Amino acid sequence: MARWHNRTASAVIRASRSHRPRRLCGAAPALLMLAAAPAAAQGGASDPTDNLPTVDVAEMLGAANTCLAATGSAAVDVGVFTQAGWNAAPLTDEDGEAIEVPVTFLTRAAGDPLVVIPVVEGAPPVCVLMGVVTAGQAAVPAVQAAFAEAFGAGQTDGDEAVYTQGAHMIALDFEEDDEQGFIAQAAVIQPGD
């Protein structure tokens, strides 16, 4: 439960190592602090990251472009997603009641990634996409090539890659999850000046 905080923080940490480290390093501890709130509050509750959707490159790229459009220098505009058909996916307790946390989870149709938008005061805006890739490790080169075609060559190091698009960074990463399989995640970050 509540694995979203670790994945979000790790995406920001990885991006901070590759580009503008002083600006982003402050975001990672703040994102890690978000872990305690939902984990403590939910017990056996429903967490949208417990059942990630299966995605392919086209859906990841489409959602990354929506993240780019929504992520400004001060915040991520959730309205850009809702206008594109995305809906909130609440974090709930064991009674089905929504748990108030400073994170927005968004879902759309089957095949679209889960979108996670944490709100951390003083941290740069970040929009995270997560989904299961059925092709596993073999999908990494194809996903990286598609992101490079869309966002430029970027910097790659194994399964990790960082691309820039204007003032934005897109950190792409993959991880093996014992319960869900091979997960692709992309974090769109607007670190500011």
Cβ atoms of 133 and 183 closer than 8 Å: yes
- Return the pLDDT at 15: 43
pLDDT in tens, the chain (193 residues): 334 444 444 544 444 333 333 233 333 333 333 333 344 344 555 788 888 999 988 999 999 999 999 998 889 999 999 999 999 988 888 888 888 888 899 999 988 999 999 988 888 889 999 999 988 899 999 999 999 999 998 898 988 999 998 889 999 999 999 999 999 999 999 876 5
- Return the pLDDT at 192: 66
Sheet containing 126-132: order of strands = 87-88, 103-107, 114-118, 126-132, 181-189, 168-177, 160-165, 155-157
Q: Which DSSP helix (H) or strand (E) runs through 105?
A: strand 103-107
Strand, coil or helix: 176? strand
- Return the pLDDT at 94: 83
- Return the pLDDT at 169: 92
- Return the pLDDT at 97: 85
How many CB atoms are closer than 10 A to CB 144? 19
- Return the pLDDT at 12: 47
Structure tokens at 186: 């992309």
pTM: 0.78
